[in-house]
Amino acid sequence: MSKTKSIYGKASNRLNELKPHLPLAKERFDALINSIASHQNSYTLRMEIGLVKDLDRLQEKWRDKAAKENRKQL
């Protein structure tokens, strides 16, 4: 392991973990992050709040689906 610290941090590492198993999802997340970063100066507080709410709903939806799938496999 390199002794130099990554400039991208843990979030980038977690995103890279998706590549072997969910490559299409990884690319979409990467594109979303890049789009948000590219337009960050034009986001209003209201837009940011809406974005966070959308991300929270998406996270809950897919967390619940994964939990349901795990229960089915047991």
Alpha helix segments (H runs only) across the chain: 9-18, 23-38, 45-73
Number of domains in the chain: 2
Indicate whether 51 and 63 sit together in one domain: yes
74 confidence band (pLDDT: 50, 70, 90): confident
Q: Are residues 34 and 57 in the same domain?
A: no
13 pLDDT exceeds 90? no
The DSSP symbol for 6 reads P
Q: Name the pTM for this structure.
A: 0.71
| pLDDT bucket at 39, cuts 50 / 70 / 90 | very high
Any domain includes 32: yes
CA distance 33 to 41: 14
- Domain containing 24: what range? 9-42
pLDDT tops 70 at residue 11: no
